[in-house]
A and B are shown apart, each in its own frame.
Chain A
Amino acid sequence: MSGIGKYFKLNLNSTTKQTKGNSCGCGNTSGGCSSQVNEPAPVKASCGCGSTSESCGSHNEAKVSDQEFFEAAIDAAIGDERKKDGFDQVFEVKMDRRTAFRQLTASLLIGAGAVSTSCSVTTGEGTKEKAQIDWEEQFKGNYKLMTDEERNATVERLVRSYQLRKKKNINMSSKDAVKDVLFGYAFNISKCQGYMDCVSACVEENNQDRNSQMEYIRIHEMKDGKGFKFDEADDNYYHEVPAEGHFYMGTQCFHCDNPPCVDVCPVQATWREDDGLVVIDYDWCVGCRYCMAACPYDGRRFNWSTPEVPEEEVNKDQHYLGNRMRKKGVMEKCTFCVQRSRAGKNPACVEACPTGARIFGNLLDPDSTIRWVLENKKVFRLKEDLGTEPKFWYFMD
């Protein structure tokens, strides 16, 4: 083999002749360059066609000169396009009538569609605006990289879009993380009674899909004396609680400080904010569900269908990274109710819990109750040895 350099030096329009005497220069990786050969060449000389196999059957030094062979190979590969450039490659293409008509019709339809929505006098202003909003939303960037103006703009578009579609006003925020705040959560296992008021509050607050009954929080009913056996626990019980001989514990997104879900996202649609919240840009997510697989706590949920919430139940107090309406095929999860927590309120689950088992606060405030719990109670976290550093502690009375 003549060395790897050849792959990079290959120049199809080259005026410089290939120098190696007995090498073939087809750029084909399949090893089947199309020069005419009568017998498999038993030559040990180097073969420069992309394939590493030795079956490049084109060594025929006597019949074809290198230069001629080179030209022929290129002609076979790219043909006319070699002489054309830019527009000519697209417009001066030989095609039969059928293909021509087909392509013309298709492009006409697309063009007509775009023109009719944007320029038509018969369609209303609303439709045009909707089309304009959809267009701009389609081509906006990643929220993480947006400037404040761009963030405000996309929020305004989403609010306007909702107004146009549903004739209702929503209130959407793009409030950023505040300095000197790191959110943390503590869960008292001895207090939780399994009432599931938190789950209900969460679903209502965060506009989760009612059809698939998506829930961010899971309450596990565990047998006393068995310890944390998630495989034996029941997270979908329906009987009077607390049941004799059982204890209850809740799991949700733990907002890890070293979140594995963020690392695996191929498009950086999920990230950790400065206040510790792990959030998702629903408009950037491609729905590959890598994060779902990477999460060791089953904290993430996927929208298999378009989420539906009855109009009168929609929580209209929304945040771009939080409970705004999602679409089909994107991930979502608990955000510690970013729309509430960044406004100083407790997450919906904390507020709804009738037992006081849930404690939420600022980990950086030495006088906060969450800090008192961490410093004075015997706290632990789930799967601590994974190094994910969840900001969600469990403790007992």
Chain B
Amino acid sequence: MNRKNYIYILGCIFLFVSFSCKHSENEYHSLTDKIEGESKNYHGTSISSEQLLEGIESIEITEGNHTFLIPERKKQIKSYACTECHTRPLQELKSNDTIKKAHWDIKLAHADLNTMNCITCHNGDDMDNLKSLTGSTIDFNRSYQLCSQCHSKQFEDWKGGAHGKKVAGWAPPRASMTCVNCHNPHKPGFDTRWPARFNTQKVKERE
């Protein structure tokens, strides 16, 4: 076979290959490829959660690579600032029978008493703030810093968005609930309860 034929055949093969492997722009092999491909030039969308967040007081926090909003806390606590009552040392308040009792309904059910008691988180000398394990001050608005001392795994998930709930919608800006919006810090676990509904029709259908 002469050279010309070779070149001709090679040319045909080249053309065939180059056309047969061509994908149209919107074609991907898998969903993950599609997500990766289409998000390359992502510059935001026209949908925003801002309207939904109106009227919700929030503070912006930055933890690691994540910056997002969490609900403001101090204004939600009924009798903040604590020092409005806690003007005198705790011992004195406790021994005085003439003043109205407070916090009688709080029973600590969080870890065991070897691990935790009131002063693990509260500071008798600075009632308006929380305190870390090493004694540094933590603001009530950033109480998640207190929780994250032990619950580091949950903290990682929460920062990324795998733990906890969003405040409003899915669209940016991101606003996530903070730990104490779902968990009672003094009793963080949840009781069992009855399901919200039961489908009687399904029972009939399956009889």
A residues contacting the other copy or chain, number (CB 8 A):
62
Q: Which residues of B contact A344 (CB under 8 A)?
A: 47-49, 51-52, 168-171
Most chain A CB inside 10 Å of its own CB: which residue of B44, B196, B200 = B196
Cross-chain contact A180 with B31 (CB below 8 angstroms): no
The verdict on B194 contacting chain A, using a C-beta distance below 8 Å, is yes
Q: What's the interface size class on B, roughly?
A: 35 or more
Given A180-B44, A196-B196, A241-B193, are A361 and B162 also a contact pair (CB < 8 Å)?
no
A86 within 8 A of B: no
Does B150 lie at the interface of the complex (its beta carbon under 8 Å from any beta carbon of A)?
A: no
Convert B182-198 into 0s and 1s, putting 1 for each residue whose CB lies closer than 8 angstroms to a CB of A.
10000000101111111
A257 within 8 A of B: yes
Question: Most chain-B Cβ atoms within 10 A of its Cβ — which of A181, A257, A344?
Answer: A344
Instruction: Answer whether residue B157 sits at the interface, using C-beta atoms and an 8 A cutoff.
Output: yes
Supposing A344-B51, A356-B165 touch, asked if A241 and B192 sit within 8 A by C-beta, the answer is yes
B34 touches A370 (CB 8 A): no
One digit per residue, 1 when the CB lies within 8 angstroms of any chain B CB and 0 when it does not, for chain A 183-224 equals 010101001011111011001000000011101000000000
Report which of B30, B161, B163, B182 forms a contact with A389, defined as CB distance below 8 A: B30
Which residues of chain B (71-128) have a CB below 8 Å from chain A?
none
A236 CB contact (under 8 Å) in B49, B190, B202: B202
Q: How far is the CA of A184 from the CA of B161 in the complex (A)?
A: 14
Least CB distance, B179 to chain A, in whole angstroms: 11
Chain A binding surface SS class: loop
Question: Contacts A236-B198, A356-B182, A363-B39 hold; do A343 and B47 have CB atoms under 8 A apart?
Answer: yes
Residue of A194, A211, A239, A366 touching B39 (CB-CB under 8 A):
A366
Those of A359-387 within 8 Å (CB) of chain B: 359-374, 376-377
- Taking a contact as CB atoms under 8 Å apart, the answer to whether B197 and A196 are in contact is yes
Chain A residues within an 8 Å CB radius of B176: 369
Is there contact, CB below 8 Å, between A237 and B195?
yes
Nearest CB to that of B195 among chain A residues? A196
B38 interface hit (Cβ, 8 Å): yes
Specify which chain B residues have a CB less than 8 angstroms from the CB of A240 in the assembled complex: 192-194
Across the A-B interface, how many residue pairs have beta carbons closer than 8 Å? 147
Contact flag A362-B170 (CB < 8 Å), given A257-B31, A354-B182, A377-B162: yes
Chain B residue with minimal CB distance to A381? B31
* A118 on the B face (CB < 8 A): no
Q: How far is the CA of A197 from the CA of B49 in the complex (A)?
A: 23
Q: Are the C-beta atoms of B194 and A368 separated by less than 8 Å?
A: no
Cα distance A367–B195 when bound, in Å? Answer: 34
Q: Please tell me if the beta carbons of A213 and B165 are within 8 angstroms of each other in the complex.
A: no
CA A239 – CA B193 in complex, angstroms?
8
B174/A369 in contact, CB under 8 A: yes
Q: Is A139 an interface residue (CB 8 A)?
A: no
Q: List residues of A whose CB falls within 8 A of some B CB.
A: 178-182, 184, 186, 188, 191, 193-197, 199-200, 203, 211-213, 215, 235-242, 257, 341-346, 350, 353-354, 356, 359-374, 376-377, 389, 391, 395, 397
Known: A346-B168, A356-B164. 15 other contacts (CB 8 A): A196-B195, A203-B197, A215-B199, A236-B206, A343-B47, A344-B48, A344-B52, A346-B166, A354-B182, A356-B165, A367-B174, A369-B161, A369-B166, A373-B161, A389-B30
Closest 3 CB pairs of A and B: A369-B161, A372-B160, A213-B201
